[in-house]
Structure 1
Amino acid sequence: MLKIFSTQVSGLLKAISDKEEQSIEESSRLLAHTVLSEGTVYFKGFGEMEAVVSEALFGENKFRRGAEFTDASWEELLPVDSVVVASRFADDFEALDFCKKVKEHADCYVILLGGRRKEAVLETTADIVIDTKAARGLVPLDDGSRIGVPSGLTALFAYYALFLTTEEILEEYDEE
């Protein structure tokens, strides 16, 4: 089972690198703009996606001008800020509702990380959606079901893609 899982996860990470490259680049430009404008990059995670918030704020490589989105953030939210929202699925009602409220409240940049399910119709107010590719289990069982949904793992990979690309953009400005 582990061999199947690791092979499948490698494929998902490669798919994020290849197929989400443009979304990651565009998102990183928006986030760099927030940092350079001295805005705040807020992180909000739903469920297990709190791991993205934790990594962004407490990991070895903290996101510049990063902060956790809390109830108090509504009062501080400005159009120059950005909000990175992480949910298991890109069509998660709670996450989509949150994105909509952020846009209505401050019309700042909103980036949504989540797995796109094939059958889902994605309508969101997020400026950019980055598909984490983890929408179902990767390991088939004898009864036809699947286990091993690596949503947290692929979301953290997508976060690091954002972090590294944003840092690369900011380094260009630091050198000037």
Structure 2
Amino acid sequence: MLKIFSTQVAGLLKSISDKEEQSIEEASRLLAQTFLSEGTVHFKGFGEMEAVVSEALYGENQFRQAVAFSDESWEKLLPVDSVVVATRFVNDEEAVAFCAKVRQMADCHVILMGGRGKEADLETTADIVIDTKAVRGLVPLDDGSRLGFPSGLTALFAYYALFLTTEEILEEYELD
């Protein structure tokens, strides 16, 4: 089982690198713009995606000017801010409603990260959607079910892609 899982996870991570490169680049430019404008990057995680918030705030490679989104954040949101939302599925009702409220309350950027099924249409929910590619378990069982749903793992990989690309962009500005 572990061999199947590792092979499948490696495929998902490669797919994020290859197919989400443009979304990650665009999101990183927005986040760099937030930093350069002295705005704040708010992180909000739903369910197990709190791992992304923890990594952004407390990990070895913390995101610049990052805070956890809280109830008090609603009053503090500014147009120069950005909100990064991590959820298991990008069409999760709670996450979609949250993104809509952020867009309604403040004219700031919203970046949504999560597994994107074929039916998800989110062009009005967020400025940029980063697909974590995790939409089901990876290890098939004899009864047709699946185990090993790596939503948190792929979201953390997407976070690091976003972090590293944003740092790369900011380095270009700091050299000038």
> Where on the TM-score scale, by shorter chain, does this alignment land: which range?
over 0.9
Q: Any idea what SS the aligned residue of 1:112 has?
A: strand
User: Residue 121 of structure 2 corresponds to which residue in structure 1?
Assistant: 122
Q: Unpaired runs of 5+ in structure 2?
A: none
Residue 148 (structure 1) aligns with: 148
SS of 2:160's partner is helix
1-structure distance, mates of 2:120, 2:56 = 29
Q: Distance in 1 between matches of 2:49 and 2:89?
A: 10
The 8 Å contact of residues 90 and 122 in structure 1, kept in 2 or not, is answered as no
The structural deviation recorded for 1:107 is 1.4
The normalised TM-score by structure 1 is 0.98
**Does the aligned pair in 1 maintain the 2:90–2:120 contact within 8 Å?**
no
* Separation of aligned partners in 2, 1:122 and 1:4: 31
Give the aligned partner of residue 157 of structure 2.
Answer: 157
Give a deviation string over 1:150-172, Cα, whole Å, max 9, x none: 00000000000000000000001
Structure 1 residue 117: Cα displacement:
1.6
CA contact (8 A) 1:52 1:156 kept: yes
What is the total number of aligned residue pairs between the two structures?
175
SS at match of 2:111: strand
Runs of 4+ residues deviating >3 angstroms: none
Corresponding residue number in structure 2 for 1:94? 94
**In percent, how many aligned pairs have the same letter?**
78
CA distance in 2, matches of 1:33, 1:159: 17
Q: TM-score, normalised by structure 2?
A: 0.98
Unaligned runs of 5+ in 1: none
Give, in whole Å, the separation in 1 of the partners of 2:95 and 2:147: 24
